[in-house]
Structure 1
Amino acid sequence: MQRFSIDGREFSEDDPALQAALARVHQTKTRPLCLCVTPAQPGIPMYVSKVSGHFQIKRMPESGPEHSPDCDSYEHPPELSGLGEVLGHAIKEDVDDGTTMLRLDFALNKITGRAPPAPSESEPGSVKADASKLTIRSLLHFLWDESRLSHWNPAMSDKRSWATVYKYLTQAAQGKFTKGLHLPSALFIPEPFYVDRKEAIAQRRRAFFSHTDKSDRPGQKLFIVIGEVKEVTGARYGKKMVLKQMPDFFFMISEGLNQRLKVFSDEVSLWNAYPEIHLVTIATFSLDSSGVAHIEEMALMVTTEKWIPFANVDEKTLVDGLVENGRRFVKGQKYNLPSSKPLASVILSDTKPRQTAVYLVPSSPSDDYMAALNDLTSNEKLEHIRWALGDVMPSIPPASVGTVTS
């Protein structure tokens, strides 16, 4: 449980007096201090934001690695994943009001006559990749990180369902703004589906589509959906996609878009091979006058049964093994990075005195790839393990005695 110091007084995160203390220092220069580090070190400055009338303590931008690995505010060094490339450019946090500005490279409005996104013959997110903007895949990765669904510790076993994903993704979207919109006004995350409540659920869905904030941008407003794919079937023209959480609603996929989705053949192949995993989609879509949803742009991501993202069979083997052995770790994500650039697949936060980063190295890496990997592994604050794919998986250091797992 996190503990904080505010004006010299200590509070636990569930202290009934904490809200009043935060109200006193909100919009002042007083910084709450996170006391997760050893007593010999000073506390780590945080800031206070107000969301829906509730005060929250948030970590300062780019301060995640300063926290203890056992702390809820800990984040691995951003340069180990694709986050490092976009943080401060496509993602900008404002500590004065607690908001985050996101710059997106995809449209949230549809203008008649404008051509759809050009087909890509390369991997998703890499052709237009730009450190100053988030691709649609990168937005999904960011929200997955913000909701801590990319984090794992043994206390999470048997506690992750779509209800959990829905709850934390919804919370993660709060305070995020883009293109003049508060992200939750455009982001639709389907709630858990129950047959006996389907009419009420459908009514709330229709209300969301009818009463969201209006934008002064030209053209038809587009929505963003994040959900788990149930099936994609043939339609009279193109395909239609059904999400597990919305079996009574479908999304039309044009034949042209369906052809462009071939860049996600690896994700679909993994989904077909492992019945227990989840295929997650993020997509922009419009609603026509009859209420039918038409997808404009989309990306896919596979996750383990525990909703932890992975990219290939070897990475699934690594992640599943860590979960089975009760390890605590953070899963690295690519954001805008193409596969030609390295990243840490996982960062183990239960090894001491230093966390351990594990890298999956392709069988025939380029010289540029190895140079970038050597640069990443020069960080002496962490231990580094390289797994050359095709070789036997190297030994993973055991968890340190006394590591907190809740």
Structure 2
Amino acid sequence: MLLSTVYRCVDLISDSVAVLPLKTYHLDADGFKAEAKSHPAYYMFNMEPNEDMTRYVFFKTLMASVLLTGNGYAYIERDSKMNAAQLIYLPSSQVTITWITDRLGIMRKRYQVVGFRELVDPRDMIHVLNFSYDGIIGVSTLEHARQSLGIATSTEEHAEGFFKSGASVAGILTVEGTRLDEKKKDQIYQTWEERTNPITGHPNGIAVLEGNMKYQPISISPKDSQFIESRQFNVVDLCRFFSVSPVKAFDLSKSSYSTVEATQLQYLTDTALAVITKIELEINRKVFLPSERGRFIAEFDTSAILRTDKSAQAAFWKDLATVGAATPNEVRRENNMPRIENGDKAFVQVNVQTLDNAVKEKVAEPQNNPDLSDNFWVSK
């Protein structure tokens, strides 16, 4: 996380999930949804998953654990009626997956948690996996990016050392025609260090050499070693592992306004949607009781992404209102405005009609007006 690219990618993806409200819906027989605000899980999902965290903190912490360790855990604490009362975040270092044999001889997965006296059943544990080879244990993104992280870290360490040394290069100081003893060598070393030290000396100054001394650099310059290009490539390479565009990591070297706009849409469809889906599926199959499955569902409200984009938000609600999919009061409610009278009915446009109705219209005789051409007709 000390690498700026890794920090940005983890922060971006976890924030994308944390800012979205997680709402509980009731499904009728025809599949239509209505917010189930009276359901016990509604407040827990949307406001306070547990007594120590808000929804934002909980999902941000959970997603950071998924990306950095490969697994995100949350224990489902239930009340006396087996309804979910809290989602308690558990650090991945405190959870171990173990296997037991049931009475039929079948191996069953269980979770062993530090501080818990008994093993936890899978139905009581939210387990969000990162990339996984077996569907049981997730693999950290950093594990796959180990080589790229090593190169990026080495590049940053080299940059730190380079600038600490006064942006100077190493070399050989040659004394011609004279054989120096150890005492004289140490004196030259000390004098050179005092002169060129980036903290106590004058790293950008001029070193004066004796008549028989010559300095020859032996290191290549940062430009020759493609130092700057390497640092830029590290950004792109690490972004690939997190499925994040370099533009989202503030690498704007090859971007334009249209690129930024397209990148935002691509990020939502290629990165954020996959993360949101895996969390929704895990919650819906474990939090709700077996008798509630198929009747209640939890989904992230992705319209919150448009919250700061007023033009896109206005276009979205205008299109819904035009086709009668939203009433004026529904639009006002979602935009934090009070209810208005007669605003609970949907409206549709009536300035177009079908061809059948157009043909059925009767055509009247032309008006007796000499100033009008015969081509003008008046329809009843």
Q: TM-score range by the shorter chain?
A: under 0.3
TM-score by length of 2: 0.22
Q: Greater share of strand residues, 1 or 2? A: 1
TM-score by length of 1: 0.21
Q: Greater share of helix residues, 1 or 2? A: 2
